[in-house]
Amino acid sequence: MNNSDEELNIINTVLGFCESGDTHLEPETMLNPVTHYTDPDRLNQEIETLFRKFPIIVGHAGQLKDAGQFFTHNDTGIPILVTRDKTGKVNAFVNVCRHRGAIVETEACGKANTFSCPYHGWTYGLDGNLRGLRQSEGFGRLEKASHGLVELPVFERFGLIWVRPSPAEETIDIEAWLAPMAEQLGSLNIESHTIYREWSLHRNMHWRIALEGFQENYHFCSAHQHTACSSYLDNQSIFLNKYPHFRHAVPISKISDLAEKGATPEDYRPNFMTQNYMFPCNFVQVMVDHVYVHTIIPTGQNTCVFKCMMLIPEPAVSEKAKKYWEANYNVVQKVFGEDFEIGESIQRGLSTGANTNFTFGRYEAGLQLAQTAMDDALEGKLSC
């Protein structure tokens, strides 16, 4: 089914649910053992598998518009340097010097011709090649060609930069990996958006708790009672399984107006917030007129970082535009903040023994879909 047909289908399914009083239900509930959040071995396994073998969104193409632009990413446990070289190619490297291991580029972003290690000044090109070492006679016949920065698989797709944070040899078929989401992501023109704000929040909760806050909307009218609740239909949404990813379409309250006039595919975007989950930790959250891209990454057993970019269709130049986007930014900060506060409260209760399992309800399809895909990956049944 193409994207337009899919979107028309989503609208009509929601309108049907509104009339019948139904909502999307998975066939069964699912139990998730609390040890999945508390067991250090499980977390290590998740890091080694989910955060080393699959692509993670690290930036937006706009951060690498020109040759020489670079940015760094420091949250996966593998320091990453991403560059655009003179040929226009995007490269990603382990940001670690091949001499004695210092972090080579310490700035968050910038423009450069070469990268010079702060420790002894070894210099690398935008393509990662070792260009020069001071007083090289002290290194015998050291082969420059085999002492370039270690490359990581990197892909520029749908205006986003995706990196697999491990230099392992297996290649990634990124087209096949993103194929289930390709038509929809392609239709958003993310590459022509600009970053209005970009931020990272370090929070005190296991990464899965933070992730789960974005995988169901059953919580909207309790956790977001005074904020998001009124904008959306209560506990009404469509989940499309695009294994190992999913599309979660949450209807805006005014969608019921379409019941009488009849819907066309053009009615989709103005009437939905879409939370697209790309395994293992990437979200492209599509609002009516802008987009949030976020990732959630473990930084410890009980800590994680939430990294978010707010993307707007064109730069905010006028005062009116600035005010408008700032208001949107403030609302989303508040709503995300409500999720994280509850997430941290879950973390505080994890070790009490009150629960041995968490119950993923039939409404909470996203939790079930992601859990299934993660179990598959951890058991070696899912790769990319």
The one-letter amino acid code at 273 reads: M
The residue range among 96-104, 265-273, 313-321, 323-331 that interacts with ligand FES, by the rule CB under 6 A, is 96-104
From the CB of 292, what's the least distance to Fe ion, in Å?
12
Closest CB 78 distance from ligand FES, rounded Å: 17
111 contacts which partner out of Fe ion, ligand FES, none, CB within 5 to 8 A by kind?
A: none
* Interatomic CA distance for residues 45 and 29, integer angstroms: 25
* Cross-strand bridge partners of residue 151: 93
For the chain, the distance separating the N- and C-terminal CA atoms, rounded to the nearest angstrom, is 23
Quick check: 142 binds ligand FES (CB under 6 A)?
no
Nearer to ligand FES, 119 or 243 (CB): 119
By CB under 6 A, name the one of 119, 175, 259, 348 that touches ligand FES. Answer: 119
User: What are the distances in angstroms from CA 95 to CA 79, 303, 322?
Assistant: 5, 23, 35
SS3 content of the chain, % helix, strand, coil (to 5): 35, 25, 35
- Paired tokens of 264: 């066309």
Contact 323, 311 (CB under 8 A): no
**Quick one: what does residue 339 bind among ligand FES, Fe ion, none, with the CB cut-off 5 to 8 Å set by partner type?**
Fe ion
Output 117 or 310, the one with its CB closest to ligand FES.
Answer: 117
Counting Cα atoms < 13 Å in the Cβ hemisphere of 167 gives 13
In the bound state with Fe ion, the residue whose beta carbon lies nearer, of 193 and 224, is 224
Beta carbons of 59 and 73 less than 8 angstroms apart: yes
Q: What backbone torsions phi and psi does residue 204 show, to the nearest 5 degrees?
A: -95, 75
Comparing CB distances to ligand FES, the nearer of 119 and 199 is 119
To the nearest whole angstrom, how small is the minimum distance from the Cβ of residue 164 to ligand FES?
Answer: 24
Binder of ligand FES out of 8, 18, 67, 102 (CB under 6 A)? 102
Query: Given candidates 71, 122, 283, 360, which one binds ligand FES under the rule CB under 6 A?
Result: 122
List the single partner that 196 binds among Fe ion, ligand FES, none, CB under 5 to 8 Å by kind.
none
Amino acid identity of residue 35, one-letter, is: T
Residue 69's H or E segment, with its range, is strand 69-73
Binding of Fe ion by 339 (CB under 5 A): yes
One residue of 15, 50, 90, 117 binding ligand FES per CB under 6 A: 117
- Tokens 């085999």 sit on residue: 146
Residue 123 beta carbon to ligand FES: minimum distance, rounded to whole angstroms: 9
Q: Identify residue 279 by its one-letter amino acid code.
A: F
CB of 223 to Fe ion, least distance (A): 6
Footprint of ligand FES (CB under 6 A): 97, 99-102, 117, 119-122
Footprint of Fe ion (CB under 5 A): 339
